[in-house]
Structure 1
Amino acid sequence: MNVINKVEHWGDLHRTKWLDIVRIALGLLIFFKGIALISNNDASQDLILQNNVFGFSGLMSSLVIHIVAFIHLVGGILIIIGLLTRFAVVIQIPVLLGAIFFVNLSKGFTMLNSELWLSVLVLLLLVLFWVVGSGPLSVDQSMMKKKFR
């Protein structure tokens, strides 16, 4: 636990405002991916059934899509506003790892697989915000300022 506290402390000391713009863009991307999963449920379900990684049936794949969409929607909003950012990022990481290893790698590890590269970039940004936290333009920061007044 000591290492995690040291990483969080380092992240709290090294915040920049331009990273908040990147955090907000990342949150928007994740939120809109959740909307896309819900609005295009049939294509997402076909993709999971094609790969058949865990032997999902139709009902189980639909449940997984709805859980992932819910995680993206809630986590995206939390990341956008900067509330419980580290928690929101941590709940996104397993979803992104699943997207990279089970969904996107089945299409091949090529330069043309833009969805894979986007997933890798989002995963790296999630790890970055897990370390540095929410930043100065966030609800977390404004709550900390009110707490110490």
Structure 2
Amino acid sequence: MNSVKSLNKWANAHTYLPVDLVRITLGVFLFFKGVYFITNIQYLQDLISPIDQFGGGMMLLHYIAPAHIMGGIMIAFGLLTRWAIMAQLPILMGAVIINFMGQMHSQNLLFSLLTFVVCIAFLIYGSGKNSADYYFKMQE
């Protein structure tokens, strides 16, 4: 718990608007990716088909899109950012793995790797000063 508090203090002391804009952009990207998956469910089903042979394909379909939508909203507003990112990490690791198990799509691999790296950065950095977390913390 002390390490999270010390990370938050460091992040709040070194908060810059461009970093918050990157967080908001990440949240909006994940939100629209979730909406895209819901509107094109066959595309999502085709994407996870290489790992569907291990079972749980229907469970993945019902986890990925809502996690992207809710996680994207939470990340964009900076509300429970670390928890929302932890929900995204298994999906993003799966996105990277799927590119190596199935047919390689370089653009999908690039987007998933970039999103994964940015999520890891915000998992460490936190939501920053211009976020709902900081606002609610100051209200206490």
Asked if the contact 1:134/1:140 (under 8 Å) is kept, the reply is yes
1:64 is aligned to 2:57: no
Q: Which of residues 121, 134, 137 in structure 2 aligns to 1:128?
A: 121
Asked if the contact 1:15/1:132 (under 8 Å) is kept, the reply is no
Q: Which of residues 108, 114, 122 in structure 2 aligns to 1:115?
A: 108
Q: For the structure 1 residues 138 and 8, does the alpha-carbon distance in structure 2 shift closer, same or farther, using more than 3 Å as the test?
A: closer
Q: Distance in 1 between matches of 2:22 and 2:59?
A: 31
TM-score (structure 1 length as normaliser):
0.82
Q: For the structure 1 residues 8 and 136, does the alpha-carbon distance in structure 2 shift closer, same or farther, using more than 3 Å as the test?
A: closer
Q: Which residue of 2 aligns with 1:104?
A: 99
Q: Distance in 2 between matches of 1:5 and 1:21?
A: 23
Q: For the structure 1 residues 16 and 140, does the alpha-carbon distance in structure 2 shift closer, same or farther, using more than 3 Å as the test?
A: same
Alignment size in residue pairs? 139
SS at match of 1:135: coil
Q: For the structure 1 residues 104 and 16, does the alpha-carbon distance in structure 2 shift closer, same or farther, using more than 3 Å as the test?
A: same
Question: How far 1:44 moved relative to its partner?
Answer: 1.5
Q: For the structure 1 residues 3 and 98, does the alpha-carbon distance in structure 2 shift closer, same or farther, using more than 3 Å as the test?
A: same
Asked if the contact 1:107/1:113 (under 8 Å) is kept, the reply is no
Question: How far 1:98 moved relative to its partner?
Answer: 0.7
Q: Which residue of 2 aligns with 1:55?
A: 53
For residues 101-121 of structure 1, the C-alpha deviation after alignment (integer angstroms, 9 at most, x for no partner) is 1x222333xxx7111011111
* Structure exhibiting the larger radius of gyration computed from Cα positions: 1
Asked if the contact 2:8/2:128 (under 8 Å) is kept, the reply is no
Q: Which residue of 1 aligns with 2:31?
A: 31
Q: Where does the alignment leave 5 or more consecutive residues of structure 1 unmatched?
A: none
Asked if the contact 2:25/2:76 (under 8 Å) is kept, the reply is yes
Percentage of identical aligned residues? 35
Asked if the contact 2:96/2:113 (under 8 Å) is kept, the reply is yes
Q: Which residue of 1 aligns with 2:134?
A: 141
Q: Where does the alignment leave 5 or more consecutive residues of structure 2 unmatched?
A: none
